[in-house]
Amino acid sequence: MAWSGAMKKIAGHIRPLVIQRLRDIEEKKTLPESSTTPRQRTVERIVQQMIALTFASAHQLPLVLTFTIYNLCLHPEYIEPLTEEIRSMLSLPEEMQYKNMPLMESFLRESARVNPLDALSIQRKVMKPFTFSSGETIPQGNIIAVPQDALMKSPRYYNDPETFDGFRFVLPEDRGREEPRMKYTDVSSGFPFWGASKKACPGRWYVSASLKQILAHLLTKYEFKLADDNKALTMGYTTMVIPRHGMRVLLRKLEKSG
């Protein structure tokens, strides 16, 4: 992959740190077994991975937040119960805040189900030929993936999957519990938004915590709506489905927001 001028500039800042860390690892002999493959611990490979992770963390959160705000605008009936949950949560001790929010957990999970950012998930390279029970064989070297957009809109996993149900994942037994049983960050075969269970996205708790805090501020301080709710909200780029450029959200500060 050819590096752009911006990537080369970023790599110039990161490379000295990576070189020093690799030296420290060699001196202390504490290299994790999962990273002993020489090809995976070259300076260029590590720099490339760091840039990719930085790019992902910088873009995924705003995209997810944008879709969540869109869904709040399209389904304003959820704003009041979510705001009430937020206000009750803010009255708790700081260490307990944002933990027991079954309505918010469910709304975020449903928003991700309907707008998963990418049609595919869990992309993997086939290291050796594999034959399914149906007789289909995947040759070595091919890239395979889970069709998460189709899967998360399948009646096999969800009742009435084409309908947005913001509280779809709220369980009756969540009442009185310190934390809801089903969370936005949970991984399952019917919700591969965060990847596979064994190697799920390590940044999902950061995304969840950030979204809750941002939405808590927005819902208690502002009212908002789409400037034009007749426009298409999404656009495609390769396998990605992202918010359409040029969409505007109108915000107005609540009179009693404090």
- Cα–Cα distance measured from residue 41 to residue 60, given in angstroms and rounded to the nearest whole number: 26
Nearest by Cα to 114 from 172, 71, 143, 83: 71
Cα separation, 244 vs 66, in Å, equals 10
Task: Please indicate if the annotation marks 73 as binding a ligand.
Answer: no
Nearest-angstrom CA–CA distance, 211 and 219: 12
The position carrying tokens 């860390």 is 21
Q: Tell me 35's DSSP state.
A: G
Q: Tally the residues of the chain.
A: 258
Q: Considering only CA atoms, which of 184, 194, 178, 164 is closest in space to residue 103? A: 184
Give the three-class secondary structure for 80.
Answer: helix
Instruction: Quote the radius of gyration of the chain (alpha carbons, Å).
Output: 22
- 226 DSSP β-pair partners: 249
Placement of tokens 């289909």 in the chain? 136
Torsion of CA 22, 23, 28, 33, to 10 degrees: 30
Q: Which residues are annotated as a binding site for heme?
A: 201
Q: Which residues are annotated as a binding site?
A: 201
